[in-house]
């Protein structure tokens, strides 16, 4: 049976995700959707020009929501990155735009009867993932945000560089919001089979954590967008879903103990979130997680325009 994915929003990130998936033959059918009709048509044509030199065939449809009815996965990459182009701005600068777009997209997905897995990249991702679940009515386990999968990669890059290790040789997580209230759970970070805290001072940990959290800002203010890091995170998550990998990933999902979407390790497969991992965090880390959850909840409530 043919595998199908929809990508909503063909900006820098959506296009990078599409290229990564198409180049490795992850799906057979692709549905590109964007309100900029000329841009999305041009992306489809660009891929058509690449087809003769790619090892896998890909069928691409443009701006056809009906084609998403039987999609395995739909990826929301919509956004307006220019809203973040201000030194005082953060990912919430995009919320006025995404909060307006989400209900319309959700209504289209409901109208065609989409029953697959919805993967959300759009910022601020934890809040937007919550909004998508609310407006689509899809089961919580089938609406997943990329969350701190990217921030965890940035932490692994920083720690790996510090110890001259490949980032894949660093274990651990950044947890909570994909934003300023996230934190590195140092109690979980290991290198060479040992707790990294045994090798780092408090000052060094603070510096590495700041480097990880600010990584996106460093890239953004130099090239005015980020793309490869988040695209690779998204592709890893999507492949874990369609291959039913049962892979452990720190992604944004509904975390029942704190009753909100936030990033925490979970087992991911074809049905979405299969199992939530139980970490042994320190008391300080648990409080940081709770504080991050409260921050996300406040923004969700405000976006939905209702009071607790």
For 5, the 3-state DSSP assignment is strand
- Residue 220: pLDDT band with limits 50, 70, 90: confident
User: pLDDT (tens digit, 9 = 90+) per residue, 28-70?
Assistant: 999 999 999 999 999 999 999 999 999 999 999 999 999 999 9
Report the binding-site residues.
9-14, 34, 121-123
| Catalytic residue status for 57 | no
Residue 251 pLDDT: 98
* Ranges 187-191, 222-226, 259-263, 285-289: which has the least confidence: 222-226
Phi, psi of 257 (to 5 degrees): -55, -30
308's tokens:
């607790």
Q: Which helix (H) or strand (E) holds 263?
A: strand 260-269
Does residue 285 have a pLDDT over 60? yes
Average pLDDT over residues 17-37: 98
Quickly state the pLDDT bin for 307 (edges 50, 70, 90).
very low
The reply to whether the predicted model has a pTM over 0.75 is: yes
What's residue 149's pLDDT? 98
How confident is the model at residue 261, as a pLDDT? 98
> CA nearest 102: which of 133, 74, 72, 81?
133
d(Cα 96, Cα 87) in Å, to the nearest integer?
18
Task: Provide the percentage of residues in the chain whose pLDDT is more than 90.
Answer: 86
Annotated binding site for NAD(+): which residue ranges?
9-14, 34, 121-123
Structural domains of the chain, with CATH: 4-145 (3.40.50.720), 149-304 (3.90.110.10)
**For 161-259, where are the E strands, in sequence order?**
170-171, 174-175, 183-184, 190-191, 194-195, 247-255
E strand or H helix that includes residue 117:
strand 117-120
Closest CA to 231 of 13, 75, 10: 13
The pLDDT-based confidence of 89 (bands split at 50, 70, 90) is: low
Q: Is residue 205 predicted with pLDDT exceeding 90?
A: yes
* From 178, 217, 246, 253, active-site residue: 178
Cα separation of 7 and 25, whole Å? 15
Helical axes 283-304 vs 125-136, angle rounded to 10°: 50
């Amino acid at each position: 049976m043919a595998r199908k994915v929809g990508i909503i929003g063909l900006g820098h990130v959506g296009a990078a995700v599409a290229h990564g998936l198409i180049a490795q033959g992850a799906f057979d059918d692709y549905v590109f959707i964007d309100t900029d009709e000329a841009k999305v048509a041009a992306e489809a044509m660009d891929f058509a020009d690449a087809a003769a030199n790619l090892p896998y065939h890909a069928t691409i449809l443009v701006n056809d929501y009906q084609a998403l009815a039987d999609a395995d996965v739909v990826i929301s990459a919509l956004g307006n990155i220019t809203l973040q182009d201000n030194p005082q701005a953060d990912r919430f600068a995009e919320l006025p735009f995404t909060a307006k777009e989400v209900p319309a997209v959700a209504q289209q997905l409901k109208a065609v009867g989409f029953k697959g897995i919805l993967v959300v990249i759009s910022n601020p991702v934890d809040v937007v993932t919550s909004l998508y679940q609310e407006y689509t009515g899809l089961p919580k386990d089938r609406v997943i945000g990329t969350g701190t999968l990217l921030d965890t990669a940035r932490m692994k890059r920083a720690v790996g560089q510090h110890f001259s290790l490949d980032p894949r040789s660093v274990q651990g997580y950044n947890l909570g919001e994909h934003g300023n209230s996230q934190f590195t759970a140092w109690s979980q970070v290991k290198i060479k089979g040992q707790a990294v805290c045994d090798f780092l001072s408090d000052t060094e940990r603070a510096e590495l954590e700041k480097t990880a959290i600010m990584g996106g800002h460093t890239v953004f203010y130099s090239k005015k967008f980020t793309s490869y890091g988040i695209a690779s995170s998204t592709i890893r998550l999507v492949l874990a879903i369609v291959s039913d990998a049962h892979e452990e990933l720190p992604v944004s999902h509904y975390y029942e103990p704190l009753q909100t979407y936030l990033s925490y390790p979970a087992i991911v497969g074809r049905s979405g979130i299969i199992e939530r991992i139980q970490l042994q965090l320190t008391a300080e880390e648990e409080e940081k997680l709770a504080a991050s959850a409260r921050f996300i909840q406040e923004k969700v409530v405000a976006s939905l325009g209702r009071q607790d």
